[in-house]
Structure 1
Amino acid sequence: MFILLICLCCISFGLAVGVFVVPGPIPSNLRQTPVSEEIPVVRESFDDSRTVKAQLDVTEGQSIAWTGGGIVTKLGVGSQSILSSGESPFSVDGKPIVALHTSVPLYRDLYAGMAGEDVGALRDELVRLGFGGDTVQRLHDTFDRSLRLSLIGLQKHIGAARTGALHLTDCVWLPGQSITLASSSLVLGQSAPQELGRTAMTVSALKINVPDGLYPGARVVDINGVETKLPSDGVVTDRVFLDALVKTDAFVQWSAAGEEQRAGGLSSTIRLEHALDATKVPAGAVFGINGHRACVRNGEHSVVVDLYGSDNGFAMVGPEGRLSSVQVPVRVAMQCPVSTQAR
């Protein structure tokens, strides 16, 4: 029993000493400031790529109609085909039908001696297509001999009878110089319907809300591999780009989505047109930020840098000279020459 009491006393004494000997947590205001660490830096190409949503101004497809009738004996178009003014997309009863775009829709037969804005519109299109027909201004809207010869030139081009007159049953009016059929009702060997098909959805503009604070520089917008320059206001109207855009898988999926999903925009990428040769440094190494200018510490010196942007917790900068390393964190107070400059 005596030995047991001695053991219990020793244990109690040990616990009491431990309470006074083992230190408690150090208050945060008394902890030692960590020593700055020298971090090597690397150089990388930086294009400041951003994923943004683009809003599209679109025109839904419209019907392409024809007033003639007969059996389709030759067919050169189908769904997703391109119809161009001045070409023959199909033949009926062995007779080529010509597709024509005119600024004034064709609504009557046209032949020598007639006059009107539709005559002048026909003349303008034949001139554009390279069949001549230009004349003095006072005869612009008159179906004269020069216009008749131009029309014969077009008829010869498509293999039609050279009548020198234009009948509605011999042509299809197009709403544009070149259109894409989203669907076609023409079937070889069957009667040609009055509605030949519908045009595909077209895009007149693409609008991007350009983020604030981007590093100055020309940028491009890229959607599914199709790209063009991004205007400063974010509104893209480049016709070549927009025509290519509607053929991409991204646009097809977007156009097939519901109205609510389409309202959310089309995913796009914007980036600098010419990538920058940047130095990648830890974000904590940057101080004295003033707009797109800042400093980093290199040894005992402040180095002025251009602040290009960020990349996964790192700052992408452009130093005025070569930079091999930076200190993190900036332990001592250092002056940054650009921090007090006016923006």
Structure 2
Amino acid sequence: MDIAVSVGAPQGVSVSRSGIITAWSCRPGESIESGKSAVTLDGVPLVSLSTSVPLWRDLSVGDDGADVSALEAELARLGYAVDGNGTLSYRDLAAFSKLASSVGADVKDVVPRDAVVWLPAAAVEVDKCEIGLGSNVSAGQLLASVSADVEVAPVALPEGRIPGPRLLNAFGEPLALGDAGELPTDLPAGLVRKSPLFREAVGGSDNVTSVTLKGTAVLATPVQVAAVPATAVQVLDNGNGCVFTDTSPYAVKIVGSEFGNSFVLFADATPPTSVLSSVPKEHQECG
């Protein structure tokens, strides 16, 4: 089946103030994660944070707006208790203070925008480290180039399929699909980008905006089907059919065909050991 993948534009990670880099955990191929610290300026760890709206100002209690809502949402995702009403509260400030403290920073009265390194996703994979330890950087300077984000569209599951949860095989490990073919909402972008299918499709280009990959969807719990000659099946409506023995008809669900064979799922819990190779001229109907 086809898997449509949208590829975003390449992104960068930068700082909002100047200083000397005194710690820098940047390695190509590794991830920078929201809620942690990857860089320290002048001995002060900065908080890596992925928000839908980058922080563009210092935030004080009582401030409101889209940037506050974005901060609250990410703090909540990281497991901190917030009010979540779009207005910075003392509770929200305490949550950010706890986060900053967890990486070794001291934040009390405000949420300083220059204490945050904005990330375009919850985890980004480093393509290239643009500067090194000991570098003197200025506000807005690029620290690292990171891989573009990817978004995988729901896959189209076939009509008349056998009911049951399915797994998608495409990215190196099976992924659970929703009833409509949706992939997990927390699908790591790195898992997609690092897969051989994606790397082959992109071919090392930085200008790809979308690719179509090939994958397979399988039942999470296998079921036993039988292969019978196609001529043995009386085809009814909606993928249903009948096969026959010398004495009885058996209702089946037709689930596939290949090389002159039909693959069927018996409705009866005890299927026959063999069936006639063709539909008898005179026969009973399936019950």
Is TM > 0.5 for Structure 1 vs Structure 2? yes
| 2:224 match: secondary structure | strand
User: CA separation in 1, counterparts of 2:84 and 2:174?
Assistant: 43
In the alignment, which of 90, 93, 98 is matched to residue 39 of structure 2?
A: 90
> Once the 2 structures are TM-superposed, how far is the Cα of residue 126 of structure 1 from its aligned partner?
5.0
Identity percentage over the alignment? 25
In the alignment, which of 279, 283, 287 is matched to residue 335 of structure 1?
A: 283
> Once the 2 structures are TM-superposed, how far is the Cα of residue 206 of structure 1 from its aligned partner?
2.0
* Residues 200 and 127 of structure 1, relative CA distance in 2, 3 Å threshold: same
1:200 aligns with 2:147: yes
**CA RMSD in angstroms, aligned pairs only:** 3.7
In the alignment, which of 179, 184, 189 is matched to residue 134 of structure 2?
A: 189
| 2:263 match: secondary structure | strand
> Once the 2 structures are TM-superposed, how far is the Cα of residue 88 of structure 1 from its aligned partner?
1.4
User: CA separation in 2, counterparts of 1:336 and 1:282?
Assistant: 19
Count of residues paired in the alignment:
281
When normalised by structure 1's length, the TM-score is: 0.66
User: CA separation in 2, counterparts of 1:260 and 1:136?
Assistant: 38
1:209 aligns with 2:156: yes
State which structure, 1 or 2, has the greater radius of gyration over its C-alpha atoms. Answer: 1
Mapping of 1:1-343 within 5 angstroms?
Answer: 52-110=1-59, 115-117=63-65, 118=67, 122=71, 125=74, 129=78, 140-141=87-88, 150-161=95-106, 164-192=109-137, 194-234=141-181, 236-241=182-187, 243=189, 244-256=191-203, 265-299=212-246, 301-319=248-266, 320=268, 321-330=270-279, 332-335=280-283, 337-338=285-286
User: CA separation in 2, counterparts of 1:205 and 1:285?
Assistant: 41
- Residue 24 of structure 1 is matched in structure 2 by none
Cα deviation, 1:61-111, whole Å, max 9, x if unaligned, reads 32322232333221223233332333210112333222233454212334x
> Once the 2 structures are TM-superposed, how far is the Cα of residue 125 of structure 1 from its aligned partner?
4.9
| 1:323 match: secondary structure | coil
Cα deviation, 1:123-146, whole Å, max 9, x if unaligned, reads 6655665666x57979x436x6x6
| 1:240 match: secondary structure | coil
> Once the 2 structures are TM-superposed, how far is the Cα of residue 267 of structure 1 from its aligned partner?
0.8
For the Cα contact (< 8 Å) 2:10–2:206, is it kept in 1? no
Amino acid at match of 2:115: D
> Once the 2 structures are TM-superposed, how far is the Cα of residue 119 of structure 1 from its aligned partner?
5.4
* Residues 282 and 201 of structure 1, relative CA distance in 2, 3 Å threshold: same
Cα deviation, 1:127-170, whole Å, max 9, x if unaligned, reads 665666x57979x436x6x6665554444322235564444443
For the Cα contact (< 8 Å) 2:32–2:124, is it kept in 1? yes
> Once the 2 structures are TM-superposed, how far is the Cα of residue 223 of structure 1 from its aligned partner?
1.0
When normalised by structure 2's length, the TM-score is: 0.76
* Residues 161 and 230 of structure 1, relative CA distance in 2, 3 Å threshold: closer
Structure 2 stretches of 5 or more lacking a match? Answer: none
| 1:207 match: secondary structure | coil
| 2:153 match: secondary structure | strand
> Once the 2 structures are TM-superposed, how far is the Cα of residue 276 of structure 1 from its aligned partner?
1.7
User: CA separation in 2, counterparts of 1:287 and 1:270?
Assistant: 28
